[in-house]
Amino acid sequence: MYQPLGVDTGHPVLNALLAAAEDYLEEVHWLLATAHLDQGPSHLFQISVALNLLSVVNGLASPPTVRLQNNESAFVTCLETYLPWEKCGVKGISRAGAQHILYNLCRNPLAHGFGFSPSRKRIKYGHSFPGTADAEVRIVGVEVADTPHKNAFLEYRTDAIVLWLDAFYWAVRQMVRRYFSDPDKLAELRKYLIATPTGTVMQSAKTTLVASYTASPVQGGSSGLDKSGPADA
């Protein structure tokens, strides 16, 4: 079962934003936890996992409080500020180089040279326990761990650039936890979404947002959307 982050921002609107991010994380949980059929390929869902995780990062980097002039700069700043670099990192490339790769090559690889870097290296995805029978037990272990099971979530190799999905999942979960535990960020969001009179349209959007994510909490606890895990094969 998905392990929620257990963060409470102290306000239903901000909790609804957190729940929206956790929807993506819960989706990743099930994608990584799915046991694959014997006759199927052993590396399913890797692109889906990567895109979901990078969507979360993109969301954190693009709050509704500002109109961005430089999306890549905001993305990099968000990674630099909230990713737990002291516990996980990159290998064979600088931190700045890895941030550039995540933004320009991994977020939407087909739209950026079909996933090839300028050096013609292909973006590949690594998964430490793809589709094994104990995959969910192991992914829950990732969710509750204080440190990642791999020191580097991205490796720049001679043959390819590898994004390790299990380690990156751990890192993005920590990003979300830090983001929604940051008093300055919460004050910024609170001022824009709650304290500032923004008119009927924004007030309606806030009401809908809160209602959507508080109506009927699911078993996993991440949000009020009616979602369940994958059916048994």
The answer to whether the predicted template modeling score (pTM) of the entire model surpasses 0.75 is yes
**Start-to-end Cα distance in the chain:** 17
What's the average model confidence in pLDDT over 111-127? 70
Angle between helices 199-214 and 12-33 (to 10 degrees): 50
Rounded to whole angstroms, the Cα distance separating 125 from 50 reads 8
pLDDT band at 213 (very low <50, low <70, confident <90, very high): low
List Cα–Cα distances, 116 to 97, 111, 119, 121, 179, in angstroms.
15, 10, 8, 5, 31
Rounded to whole angstroms, the Cα distance separating 103 from 4 reads 26
Give the residue, 225 or 176, on which the prediction is more confident: 176
Rounded to whole angstroms, the Cα distance separating 216 from 228 reads 13
Q: Checking phi first, is residue 86 left (phi over 0); if not, alpha (psi -120 to 50) or beta?
A: alpha
For residues 189 and 63, the answer to whether their CB atoms sit within 8 Å is yes
Rounded to whole angstroms, the Cα distance separating 129 from 151 reads 16
Least confident of 22-26, 120-124, 147-151, 188-192: 120-124
Least confident of 78-82, 89-93, 188-192, 214-218: 214-218
Beta strands of the chain (E only): which ranges? 89-91, 122-126, 152-156, 160-164
For the chain, the average pLDDT equals 80
Question: Which of 42-46, 59-63, 99-103 shows the highest mean pLDDT?
Answer: 99-103
Residue 6 has pLDDT above 90, yes or no: yes
